[in-house]
Chains A and B, each alone.
Chain A
Amino acid sequence: NAGVTQTPKFQVLKTGQSMTLQCAQDMNHEYMSWYRQDPGMGLRLIHYSVGAGITDQGEVPNGYNVSRSTTEDFPLRLLSAAPSQTSVYFCASSSEGFLEQYFGPGTRLTVT
Chain B
Amino acid sequence: GENVEQHPSTLSVQEGDSAVIKCTYSDSASNYFPWYKQELGKRPQLIIDIRSNVGEKKDQRIAVTLNKTAKHFSLHITETQPEDSAVYFCAARYTGNQFYFGTGTSLTVIP
CA distance A42 to B45 in the complex (A): 14
- Give which listed residue, A41, A45, A50, A99, contacts B98 with CB less than 8 A: A45
Partner of A42, one of B46, B98, B104: B104
Which residue of B43, B102, B104 is within 8 Å of A90 (Cβ)?
B43
Cα A45 to Cα B57 with chains together (Å): 26
A40-B100 CB under 8 A given contacts A59-B1, A103-B45, A104-B43: no
Q: Is A105 interfacial (CB 8 A cutoff)?
A: yes
> Chain B: interface secondary structure?
strand
Verify if A68 is at the interface (C-beta below 8 Å from B). no
Query: B42 contacts which chain A residues (CB < 8 A)?
Result: 105
What are 5 A-to-B residue pairs whose CB atoms are below 8 Å? A42-B1, A42-B104, A48-B97, A59-B98, A97-B97
Chain A: interface residue total (CB-CB under 8 A): 24
Instruction: Give Cα A103–Cα B44 distance, bound, in whole angstroms.
Output: 6
Indicate if the CB atoms of A103 and B101 lie closer than 8 Å. Answer: no
CB-CB under 8 A from B6, the residues of chain A are 42
Q: A42-B104, A43-B44, A43-B101 are in contact. List 17 more A-B contacts (CB 8 A).
A: A40-B104, A41-B1, A42-B103, A43-B89, A44-B100, A45-B99, A48-B97, A56-B97, A58-B98, A59-B98, A98-B32, A98-B99, A99-B49, A101-B46, A103-B45, A105-B42, A106-B43
